[in-house]
Amino acid sequence: MVRKIRGIEDVLEGPSRTFDEFSLLTGYTPKGCTIESVSLEQDLCGLTMKAPLLSAAMMSVTGFELALELARNGGLGVVPASLSVDEQVAIIRGLKEQDMPLIEDYVFVLPNEPVFEVLRKAKEHGHSTIPVVDKFRNFLGIFDANIFNQGNDDAPLKVASNSPISDVMQPAKKLYSCREGMSLKDMQKKFSELTQRCIPIVNRKGQLVRLAFKRDIENPQVAAAASSQSGWEERVEACINAGADMIVFDSSHGFNYYQEKTITQYKKNSHFKHVPVCGGNVITAEGFRCLAKAGADAVKVGMSIGSICITAGVKGTGRGQFTAVYEAVKARDEFCKRRKYIPIIADGGISFSGQMVIALTIADFLMMGNYFNRFYEAAGEALDEHGNVIDRAKEPSRIKYIATWGEGSERAKNHARYGHITKRTLFAEGVEGRVGYAGRMKPNLRRDVNAIKAALRDTGSMDLPEFRKKAVIELRSEHSLAESQVHGVQDYK
């Protein structure tokens, strides 16, 4: 856990705290500790996560498209339990059986296009690998923006930004390409033999059909949410049979007899126990210990801090997320002295990279709803500036908002998550609305992942476990918080 918090005893004896109230102090950065060398890869109950991020089990957030794109970028999508069993299974099975789908936001350039324009397109669409074709779409080469952008003061770039892209591309003759029809098995074998990040797929005329990336033929990881109410076994069994890599028992208040009993039964079931199970949500040390003793492989922490959640206003229950996570982490550290290590997932209260950084000083992983809800791939409807539903594939330039609704809202009516046995007692604990559209997930996620890596670099940490040991944070005053925001500037971009 975090090595030091200035004045921690006084801080935690007072009101519960949020991530925004803290700042990270920098440490010594040794040679070789760079954004490029920092790794965010961690193990989540046997699953390799290249990014410590999970999407919330919300109907407006996690569907097929978002779960697939998040898996491609190293995270884990959690398919919500408010969907029917058949709908959940269809998403999971679709992810597991998908066969190198075409990139919807496909980008290719002509050989005479200037480097600066290609870099702009790469940034806009979030694709670092850009194929170069002629006017007949014959494949000519590949431009790798990552390699190009590695130029720095020590190794300045040798090409002008207005040079044609053909001057810096990798020519087709130096790349392995394949014809349409290559089997997935043969493609996997070929990737194991090559150093290329992608394989161009061409037709018999030599025209580019698509690019196959290694990540596209890897088995995408996905989790499925379930409630602990009667009938959970049917849902869990169906999702596991479809290929779910983790089961997440999702409850607003997971510190209860039913979830404790369900997790215990789950771990005793020979058909289920090979798939890790996450319990939650809890906000106290006692809540963590209850689910940990029941057999949870991971525990989710958070209540009443989601952007669409009104639980605190309706029932008065909840806790500041930093305090809740910190207390769960302390309980976990005591627990793992005698038993296995149980990852803590901070669920909610996180929308921006700065909040992610502070959360990762104590939590192992982060679950976010609002953050992912803003993206093109989110399950919520795409809306224009007037709030009208539009076809995102046909009119991407008109998207201004994405619809959002909480699992406790009138629309979702996820009564099981909020402890209602029948719908007669149901009342809203979430709202329905819209969030500003932020574009495709990949460029946004790349920017924020780099921001997290930069924070690790600034503390001299090469990975997240080292970061949690070295991190020193301190409470900020209201004036300090205001000072850290943009101020004294008008009409800034």
Residue for token digits 């005698």? 338
- Of 70, 45, 42, residue with least CA distance to 463: 42
- Total residue count of the chain as it appears in this document: 493
Q: What is the pLDDT of residue 149?
A: 64
Q: What is the pLDDT of residue 27?
A: 94
- Residue 59, SS3? coil
Contact by Cβ (8 Å): 371, 438: no
Q: Which residues contact 244 (CB under 8 A, 6 or more apart)?
A: 79, 92, 222, 223, 224, 275
Rg (CA), the chain: 24
Q: What is the pLDDT of residue 333?
A: 95
In the chain, % helix, strand, coil (3-state, to 5) comes to 35, 20, 45
- Of 369, 387, 388, 364, residue with least CA distance to 379: 369
Contact by Cβ (8 Å): 292, 267: no
Please state whether beta strands 208-213 and 198-202 pair in parallel, antiparallel, or not at all (unpaired).
antiparallel
CA distance 266 to 236: 9
Q: What is the pLDDT of residue 78?
A: 98
- Of 275, 242, 186, 229, residue with least CA distance to 64: 242
Q: What is the pLDDT of residue 189?
A: 84
CA distance 287 to 216: 39
In 137-235, which ranges are E strands? 139-144, 170-171, 178-179, 198-202, 208-213, 222-226
Please state whether beta strands 389-390 and 365-368 pair in parallel, antiparallel, or not at all (unpaired).
unpaired
The CB density around residue 26, as the number of other CB atoms within 10 Å, is 12
CA distance 78 to 116: 38
From the number of C-beta atoms within 10 Å of its C-beta (0-12, 13-18, 19+), residue 178 rates as middle
What are residue 297's DSSP bridge partners?
A: none
Contact by Cβ (8 Å): 282, 302: no
CA distance 20 to 28: 24
- Distance linking the first and last C-alpha atoms of the chain: 37
CA distance 89 to 84: 9
Q: What is the pLDDT of residue 238?
A: 97
- Residue 38, SS3? coil
Q: What is the pLDDT of residue 158?
A: 55
Mutual angle of helices 85-97 and 232-242, in 10-degree steps:
10
Q: What is the pLDDT of residue 159?
A: 63
Residue 7 CA, distance from chain mean position:
32
Could you read off the pLDDT tens digit of each residue along the chain, which spans 493 residues? 444 565 455 556 678 899 999 999 999 999 999 999 999 999 999 999 999 999 999 999 999 999 999 999 999 999 999 999 999 999 999 998 865 544 444 688 999 999 888 888 887 776 788 899 998 999 999 998 877 765 543 333 456 678 899 988 989 999 998 888 777 778 888 888 888 888 888 998 989 988 888 777 778 999 999 998 888 999 999 999 999 999 999 998 999 999 999 999 999 999 998 999 999 899 999 999 999 999 999 999 999 888 878 788 888 888 999 999 999 999 999 999 999 999 999 999 999 999 999 999 999 999 999 999 999 999 999 999 999 999 998 999 999 999 999 887 778 777 677 777 767 777 777 788 999 999 999 999 999 999 999 999 999 999 999 999 999 998 887 767 776 777 777 666 6
Residue for token digits 């997290």? 452
The region, left, alpha or beta by phi > 0 then psi within -120 to 50, assigned to residue 84 is beta
Contact by Cβ (8 Å): 474, 7: yes
H-run or E-run covering 300 = strand 298-301
CA separation (Å) from 292 to 47, 223, 299, 342?
19, 19, 8, 8
Q: What is the pLDDT of residue 247?
A: 98
